Amino acid sequence: MNHDLILHALEQCFALNRGNSKVLVVGLGKTGLSVAYYLRQLGLQFAIVDSRDKPSFNDDLLAEMPDIPVFTGGFDHAAFEVATHIIVSPGVSMDEPMIKQALAQGVRALSDIDLFACSVDVPVVAITGSNGKSTVTTMLGAMAKAEGKCVAVGGNLGTPALDLLDEAVEVYILELSSFQLERTTQLKAVAATVLNVSADHLDRYVDIEAYARQKQKVFTGEGVALINVDDPYVLAMSESGRKTLTFGLNHQADYSVLELPEGDYLAFRGRAILAVSALKVVGAHNQANALAALALGSVIGLSEEAMCTALRHYKGLKHRMQLVADINGVQWVNDSKATNVGACIAALQGFKKSNVVLIAGGDCKGADMQELVPIVTEKVKALLLIGKDGGLIKQVMQDAIAIYDAGSLKKAVKKAVKIAEPGDTVLLSPACASLDQFTNYQERGKVFASQVQALVK
């Protein structure tokens, strides 16, 4: 779309224009930087504010846009006073007092996803959920490429949505977080899904129901809603009269797993599509992810042949059930991306017996660790705890299995070497965020991998 059409859409939706609008971008991370570049392209007036003294992209912005006002070291009251619109980055809570005050005074809020939605005229697929959204997003992207489509993949995963915009793109596939969705009103995807809902980000939401309500906003519009019938929170989001597809492992669904004498198959309404054994990613949760990708791909017209070709070659994401090494019959698996309880549970469900040495802990973000007890008791032979909230996990387990307070990831790996026997799996699946000890979950995964790889040297 050309800039005139985009500006017309922004005027219609948000009364945002070049003449008298002053946009304040709150937060100068990856998303904030992408917003700044895009507002500059559109010729809109804007300034930036960040609570940090030196935001990560401050130097980049100042080098390319030295004339743009940037306020750092706190949320400057004067910057909010002159704003007519605010775009708050996902990492900043909408409950910040200065933001709440601005909204109460009539300042209009929009998001980078709103800007994106007003700028595209080709199909958009939107994917959210507590777990699996990055896997399904990249799976679907691989399917579209196998079909020969010019596809752009990003959003919460990898490239910010606004940086994906390109006239050549035929379909956009966006991973979206609850933080992005809570401040977005204009995205109307042709296909959308909430893959699942489990306790996460309860440091930002009052309860899991409030968190689920933000996830549900992905279904704004009239596109096809893909519903996980195995998840009660998602199932409750079904709307009568809405065009819907369903997927699930344990219930009747449009896309399900079919048990045949020769093995299990991914299936559509009872018709086998692809043998589960053909998948390179393991675990029941990845079968569910593949079913979701197949369903979404069908909505945007991808052939089953192309989708199955992509699934046969899909090897998964780094830090998500990633095999690091097989040492003396012990598999070491990096699932550092399991930053919440639901992700850890999903990982453990892929194991058939009690042969897992689990490394868990970190920042639990207010989640209830009690949910781990049944699956850990069933699947785990020894639990090694790390991070600031490791003690909370120990407290709920009540000595149901062998538990060791390792403290650091390095010490946990050393202890796991002594415990694990041939046939066991040492699994880093923390069920917690990483920010108490690491920059992010990627760094945590890299540290684990480097410690494991050092064992074979």
pLDDT at 200: 67
Stretch 45-55: mean pLDDT, rounded?
92
Among 94, 338, 113, which residue's Cα sits nearest to residue 204? 94
363: domain CATH number is 3.90.190.20
Q: Tens of pLDDT along 60-87?
A: 888 889 999 999 998 888 899 999 999 9
Do 125 and 172 contact (CB within 8 A), yes or no? Answer: yes
Residue with tokens 């519903």: 227
Stretch 390-414: mean pLDDT, rounded?
92
Q: Are strands 191-194 and 224-228 parallel, antiparallel or unpaired?
A: parallel
* Catalytic, out of 131, 156, 228, 289: 156
Do 335 and 319 contact (CB within 8 A), yes or no? Answer: yes
Q: Which residue has the higher pLDDT, 200 or 134?
A: 134
pLDDT at 202: 65
Q: Do residue 443 and residue 389 come from a single domain?
A: yes
pLDDT at 201: 63
pLDDT at 280: 84
Number of folded domains that form the chain: 3
CA gap 142, 103 in Å, rounded: 41
Among 220, 206, 15, 218, which residue's Cα sits nearest to residue 109? 15
User: What crossing angle do the helices spanning 441-453 and 409-419 adopt, rounded to 10°?
Assistant: 40
Phi-psi region of 73 (alpha: psi -120 to 50; beta: other; left: phi over 0): left
Residue 457 has pLDDT above 70, yes or no: no
Q: Do residue 294 and residue 333 come from a single domain?
A: no
Q: Are strands 271-275 and 85-88 parallel, antiparallel or unpaired?
A: unpaired
Contacts of 213 (CB under 8 A, 6+ apart): none
Q: Tens of pLDDT along 166-190?
A: 999 999 999 999 999 999 999 999 9
Phi-psi region of 306 (alpha: psi -120 to 50; beta: other; left: phi over 0): alpha
* Catalytic, out of 201, 285, 337, 379: 201
Question: Domain ends where: 313, 342, 370?
Answer: 313
CA gap 300, 166 in Å, rounded: 19
Residue 97 pLDDT grade (very low, low, confident, very high; cuts 50, 70, 90): very high
Give one DSSP letter per residue of 154-174, joined into a string.
EESSSS-HHHH--TT-SEEEE
Q: Tens of pLDDT along 10-37?
A: 999 999 999 999 999 999 989 999 999 9
Residue 227 pLDDT grade (very low, low, confident, very high; cuts 50, 70, 90): very high
Q: Do residue 332 and residue 449 come from a single domain?
A: yes
Q: Do residue 380 and residue 449 come from a single domain?
A: yes
Q: Do residue 88 and residue 208 come from a single domain?
A: no
Do 26 and 2 contact (CB within 8 A), yes or no? Answer: no
Is 156 an annotated catalytic residue? yes
Stretch 114-129: mean pLDDT, rounded?
97
Taking the CA atoms of the chain, what radius of gyration do you get in angstroms?
23
* Catalytic, out of 30, 85, 131, 133: 133
Sheet of 271-275: strands edge to edge?
Answer: 151-155, 171-175, 124-128, 191-194, 224-228, 244-248, 255-260, 263-268, 271-275
Burial tier of 181 (Cβ tally within 10 Å: 0-12, 13-18, 19+)? buried
The residue segments making up the domain with residue 248 are: 115-313
Q: Are strands 255-260 and 263-268 parallel, antiparallel or unpaired?
A: antiparallel
CA gap 129, 218 in Å, rounded: 10
Give one DSSP letter per residue of 289-332, joined into a string.
HHHHHHHHHHHTT--HHHHHHHHHH----TTSSEEEEEETTEEE
pLDDT at 76: 83
Q: Tens of pLDDT along 349-366?
A: 878 778 999 999 999 888
Among 155, 46, 21, 26, which residue's Cα sits nearest to residue 88? 26
The amino acid sitting at 401 is I
| Mean of per-residue pLDDT scores for the chain | 92
Q: Do residue 15 and residue 125 come from a single domain?
A: no
Q: Do residue 103 and residue 119 come from a single domain?
A: no
Residue 318 has pLDDT above 90, yes or no: no
49: domain CATH number is 3.40.50.720
Q: Do residue 200 and residue 287 come from a single domain?
A: yes
Question: Domain ends where: 313, 335, 355?
Answer: 313
Question: Domain ends where: 273, 296, 313?
Answer: 313
Q: Do residue 192 and residue 265 come from a single domain?
A: yes
Q: Do residue 163 and residue 229 come from a single domain?
A: yes
pLDDT at 329: 92
CA angle 308, 314, 320 (to 5 degrees): 135
Residue 48 has pLDDT above 90, yes or no: yes
Is 133 an annotated catalytic residue? yes
Is 285 an annotated catalytic residue? no
Q: Do residue 369 and residue 385 come from a single domain?
A: yes
Q: Are strands 151-155 and 108-110 parallel, antiparallel or unpaired?
A: unpaired
Q: Which residue has the higher pLDDT, 203 or 367?
A: 367
Three-state SS at 248: strand
Of 19-23, 97-101, 357-361, 397-401, the one with minimum mean pLDDT is 397-401
Residue with tokens 């079913």: 291
Residue 276 is encoded by which pair of tokens?
């589960």
Q: Do residue 334 and residue 415 come from a single domain?
A: yes
